[in-house]
């Protein structure tokens, strides 16, 4: 994801923290309850040991991840007998500091989300806040934290922001948060996020916005049948997909990857995707010297296309395109190893002689 800060200046407040954050109050209560003033569980020691094993030193600036890692290391081998020993003042202070950091981080996230939701927040501040939330959205638990604290609502609202930098950042965060995360996908479905995202695919939008929007759509609908059906039922989807396929090479490859991912989800998706107009657009980009990634995604998608959806005219065009591609690959020393197999598969499925019509 693009983490470049385009704000033109440092934000006045600290960036939102990484989302260890979300369950901080509960974690704090549990952790403090487990720290008696003079005694705590310490690492496993062998039965012959006369003293508790020496503990790893805690990190100097504790975060939640560091606190958990330190506690695991301190626990040691869990298979032998364990010994109780007094907790050192240093160790106790470390855990107290870590819990204090958690509370501060939670407050920081709440302030960040409030600023993202405020229409009066300056553009450079919005960009800085969105940059600071990247690692939060990329973490599964962090994404759930955004879902539980109004962060996803704020991002959906920014998906149509007038500033392309803000809009693209918000869309990339929606992509990161929803990827392989069903609870976040469900939450975005209730927010009708697709309706907010799809207009950003329009060919008049900036390329970075279209790329981010296509990533957001792809991550949102992959593996989620309900959202995929909503996408394919949206009146604007066919035109937007055609425009994406016919767009700049990076956009074409990403649009074809989305098609490739949708096809295995449901049998009826192929009929919704492989309409004649999309075939016509596809053949405009499947030129012999098109980028390898475009050919790979297109061939993999076509290999999943039922023969009944390919007209005789399109079969002829496809035969010409695959023949030309084979010729282009024959003179290359760096031809992708997967292409020959994909070409053969597509030709076998879609270009085999058609059965004669019954009389």
The structure tokens 């920081």 sit at: 108
* pTM, two decimal places: 0.68
Is the predicted pLDDT of residue 128 greater than 90, yes or no?
Answer: yes
For the chain, the residue count is: 359
Q: Tokens at residue 72, please?
A: 């695991």
pLDDT tens for residues 6-30? 434 434 344 443 433 443 443 443 3
| C-beta neighbour count of 38 within 10 angstroms | 7
Give the three-class secondary structure for 184.
helix
Neighbours of 326 (CB within 10 A): 16
171: which 2 tokens? 């869309």
**Which pLDDT tens digit goes with each residue over 85-118?**
566 677 665 655 555 444 445 567 788 889 999 9
Mapped onto helix, strand or coil, the DSSP state of residue 118 is coil
Tell which wins on pLDDT, 3 or 109: 109
Range with the poorest average pLDDT among 40-49, 78-87, 96-105, 301-310: 40-49
Mean pLDDT of 31-37: 40
Report d(CA 274, CA 219) in Å as an integer.
21
């Amino acid at each position: 994801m693009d983490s470049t800060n385009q704000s033109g200046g440092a934000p006045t407040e600290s960036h939102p923290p990484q989302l260890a954050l979300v369950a901080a109050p509960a974690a704090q209560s549990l952790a403090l309850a487990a720290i008696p003033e003079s005694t705590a569980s310490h690492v496993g020691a062998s039965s012959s040991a006369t003293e508790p094993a020496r503990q790893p030193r805690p990190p100097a600036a504790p975060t939640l991840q560091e606190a958990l890692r330190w506690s695991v290391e301190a626990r040691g081998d869990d298979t032998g007998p364990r010994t109780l020993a007094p907790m050192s003042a240093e160790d106790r202070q470390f855990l107290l500091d870590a819990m204090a950091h958690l509370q501060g981080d939670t407050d920081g996230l709440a302030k960040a989300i409030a600023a993202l939701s405020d229409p009066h927040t300056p553009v450079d501040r919005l960009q800085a806040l969105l940059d600071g939330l990247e690692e939060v959205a990329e973490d599964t638990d962090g994404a759930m934290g955004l879902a539980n604290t109004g962060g996803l609502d704020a991002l959906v609202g920014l998906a149509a922001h007038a500033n392309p930098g803000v809009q693209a950042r918000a869309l990339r965060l929606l992509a990161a948060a929803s990827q392989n995360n069903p609870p976040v996908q469900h939450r975005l479905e209730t927010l009708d996020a697709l309706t907010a995202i799809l207009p950003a695919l329009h060919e008049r939008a900036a390329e970075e916005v279209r790329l981010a929007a296509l990533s957001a759509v792809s991550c949102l609908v992959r593996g989620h049948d309900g959202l995929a059906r909503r996408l394919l039922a949206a009146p604007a989807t066919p035109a937007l997909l055609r425009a994406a396929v016919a767009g700049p090479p990076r956009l074409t490859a990403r649009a074809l990857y989305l098609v490739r991912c949708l096809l295995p989800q449901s049998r009826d998706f192929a009929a919704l995707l492989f309409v004649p107009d999309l075939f016509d657009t596809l053949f405009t980009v499947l030129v012999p010297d098109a980028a390898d990634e475009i050919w790979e995604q297109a061939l993999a998608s076509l290999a999943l296309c039922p023969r009944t959806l390919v007209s005789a005219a399109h079969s002829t065009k496809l035969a010409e395109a695959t023949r030309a591609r084979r010729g282009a690959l024959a003179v290359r020393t760096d031809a992708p190893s997967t292409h020959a197999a994909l070409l053969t598969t597509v030709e076998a499925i879609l270009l085999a002689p058609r059965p004669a019509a019954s009389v």
